[in-house]
Structure 1
Amino acid sequence: MRRAIVVFVENKSHLLLQLGCLYTSLKYIQSNDTDLVVFGTKEALEKVPDDCIKIECELAKDPPEFLHYRFINSISCLAGEQADFLDDYDYILRSDADTFLTPAWNSFYPALYTVGQGGYVNDEKTRSNLKRISSQFHLRHQGLHNLGSTHYGNARLVREVCKLATTITAHILTEEFKNGEGQWPSWYLGVATMYGCEIAVNHFVDQFSIDSKRLDYGSASPESIDDHPHIHCWHTDHMFSKFQFEAGNYDHLSTDNLNLNTIRDYCLFIALKSKQFFHS
């Protein structure tokens, strides 16, 4: 069994700081079957530890709208020939840098393609637009909405999803929002990659699981790490907050009395530990 955690980073201090936490968490749990694969710009990769698999990847710029919508890079990086080596893995977890793995990762091998829980479909307008675009491209839409940003499954299938999602996102940016960015929480340009991934998964994956407990679980939770293999830093100032960490507001804290079985303390422990040997 071989697994790859796949992320994309630019040469930005907050992204490299986040990657340091993910890297440190993988080291900490001592997974013996998982590689951390980092796609990124040349300048960013120079700051990434050499025991990661580092793949240089230019920022997506075709169509030009991608240059103003950097979220696309976390998906498009898996679509090109530079990512073909990933087909040799059994599983890919495609995620963002602001995440942590817990020891529960070491026994997390779901039978179904699994995604986290999203929150970008909030009205009938958005639902109907997604189904209309699917029909326009002659794609199957199974009616399942609000897929999370993290995808975990068969390596080749994850890549197929990313390829189609990149194409669909390009269409959404250039056609659906050519006259404006829409308005959150309805139809909105800012979540175009989420729309693209939803359409791609509904088309390609016969059965998939939306599992909000095992993927993209919130980093401020007091719950046990035992049931949550993958933690995501959402927009919060509560412990653990990526914003407070990036601002240096945790640097004075001690790790001595932390309960490493709780998510928020575990994340704080890993984050402070990451500063010892990962410098962005």
Structure 2
Amino acid sequence: MKRAVVIFMEKKRDLLLQFGCLYTSFKHINAKDTDLVVFGTKDVLPLLPDDCVKLECEKASHPPELLHYPRINSIHCFTTEKAKELEKHYDIILRTDVDTFLTPAWNHYYPTTYTVGKGGYATYQIVKDHLKRVAKELGLNHRSLHNLGATHYGKTKSVIDVSTLAVTIGKHLLTKEFKTDKGKWPSWYGGVINMYSNEIAVNHLIKDVSIDRRHLDFESTSSDSVMNHAHLHCWHTDHVFSKFQFTAGKYDKLETKNLNMNKIKDYCLAIALKAKRDLPEIMK
């Protein structure tokens, strides 16, 4: 069985710093059956290590509203011709964001169903009602499965199909639902269109879905063991490990010798600082 971790990249300093952390964690766990696949813009791919699988992909631009919602690029890349190559080479893929880490637990993590992390964008009933309404308007089924995470792990074709439908839904939300009124978080809000689109797509396309709070999108600030969680996600926090504090250089002078590589927040910090040492060209 061959696996891939798939991300989208463009040339932005914060994304390059985050990529360095993900890449260094990928190298650290030495996953024999996994490639790191990067869809990226033409200007960023030459900066990335050559042992990644690099696929050129321009940012979504049609309709023009997509230019104002760059988050859609993380799923738009799966609609391109080059995405079809993934089916030829990989049995299962992890579609994820770049601000993530892999842990040694990845080497033993093989869910048998389509699996997602945990989201938190539909805590109010009004949001759930809107999601079902939009699905109905688009002729899609919604089975009341809410708060799906950004990370999706499953058979390659299934992840591509979900992403492709999610882009179509996202275009509708951008050009119709939130065209003039962006709403307000944490109610119905245009800033999380990717999450809404993926939820509707999964409900319509995937019969058997698991939400794995333990192994996917687990918080990078935890003191739990890395062996209990395959994939870590950096959320909006200033607590260790914080992507914002790292980007600001707040960790640069910290010593690593006393860090516990079995503890999640220490693991992320150690990997991030190693990335800065090993990848100076992209970790500026």
TM-score interval, normalised by the smaller of the two chains: over 0.9
Spell out the pairing of 1:176-187 with structure 2 (5 A cutoff).
176-187=177-188
Q: Deviations over 1:106-152 (max 9, x none)?
A: 01000111111101112222111111111122211110100000000
> Is 1:81 paired with 2:81?
yes
SS at match of 2:174: helix
SS at match of 2:43: helix
> Is 1:134 paired with 2:135?
yes
Match of 2:8 in 1: 8
Q: Deviations over 1:81-111 (max 9, x none)?
A: 1111111211110001110000000010001
Match of 1:218 in 2: 219
Measure the CA separation in 1 of the matches of 2:52 and 2:278: 14
Measure the CA separation in 1 of the matches of 2:84 and 2:127: 33
Match of 1:113 in 2: 114
Match of 2:207 in 1: 206
Match of 1:149 in 2: 150
Measure the CA separation in 1 of the matches of 2:121 and 2:250: 31
Amino acid at match of 1:117: K
Amino acid at match of 1:81: E
Match of 1:49 in 2: 49
Cα deviation, residue 207, structure 1: 1.0
Cα deviation, residue 276, structure 1: 2.0
Measure the CA separation in 2 of the matches of 1:125 and 1:216: 25
Measure the CA separation in 2 of the matches of 1:59 and 1:80: 11
SS at match of 1:49: coil
Measure the CA separation in 1 of the matches of 2:153 and 2:111: 9
SS at match of 1:172: helix
The alignment of Structure 1 onto Structure 2 pairs a total of residues equal to 280
Match of 2:37 in 1: 37
Match of 1:96 in 2: 97
Structure 1 runs, 4 residues or longer, greater than 3 Å off: none
Structure 1 unaligned blocks of 5 or more: none
> Is 1:244 paired with 2:284?
no
SS at match of 1:19: helix
SS at match of 1:46: helix
Deviates more, 1:132-141 or 1:230-239: 132-141
Measure the CA separation in 1 of the matches of 2:199 and 2:178: 18
Q: Deviations over 1:188-227 (max 9, x none)?
A: 0000010000000011110111111110000010111111
Measure the CA separation in 1 of the matches of 2:250 and 2:122: 34
Match of 1:27 in 2: 27
Q: Deviations over 1:49-100 (max 9, x none)?
A: 1110111111101111110000000001011111111112111100011100
Amino acid at match of 1:243: F
Measure the CA separation in 2 of the matches of 1:124 and 1:269: 41
* Aligned Cα root-mean-square deviation (Å): 0.8
SS at match of 1:182: coil
Amino acid at match of 2:8: F
Q: Deviations over 1:149-188 (max 9, x none)?
A: 0000111000000000000000001000112101111100
TM-score (norm 2): 0.97
TM-score (norm 1): 0.98
Match of 1:17 in 2: 17
Equivalent pairs: percent with the same residue?
Answer: 58
Deviates more, 1:95-104 or 1:84-93: 84-93
Cα deviation, residue 270, structure 1: 0.5
Measure the CA separation in 2 of the matches of 1:273 and 1:78: 31
Measure the CA separation in 1 of the matches of 2:204 and 2:86: 21
Structure 2 unaligned blocks of 5 or more: none
Match of 1:263 in 2: 264
Amino acid at match of 1:271: A
Amino acid at match of 2:138: F
